[in-house]
A = this chain, B = another copy of it.
Amino acid sequence: MKRIEAIIKPFKLEDVKDALAEIGIDGMTVSEVKGYGRQKGHSELYRGAEYVVDFLPKIKMEMIVDGKDVDQVTATIVEAARTGKIGDGKIFVSDIEQIIRIRTGETDVEAI
């Protein structure tokens, strides 16, 4: 089983979730993160002093999938999350050794 993590722009969450639902991915865990990369932050003003906000809000989606689905899932994410502008984000794939569903105790592929 593989873990797919995607760092995307916040307003793309809805689209990506819907696209993934269409290909049958219906479990995922999402969190708000801050990103630092080529896309630069904006400058803000406070009582006459300007300063730069470095970190940009991003969404991190994590889903554990069966190894054979990885390519389809990443392709789906890339398509749904792309705006073509800098800061669209990245996808990271890594290995997961074991999964357990707490409610039932099922493990591995059955627990996805």
Contact = CB atoms under 8 A, between A and B. Distances in A.
A77 B32 CA distance: 23
Interface string A88-110: 11111111111111110100000
Given A78-B100, A100-B90, A33 B38 contact: no
Interface string A1-44: 01100111000000001000000001111111111111000000
Interface in A38-52: 38
Interface residues of A, number: 53
B86 A100 contact: no
Rank and list the top 10 A-B pairs by shortest CB-CB distance, nearest first.
A93-B98, A88-B103, A88-B102, A91-B100, A31-B33, A27-B37, A30-B34, A89-B102, A28-B36, A93-B97
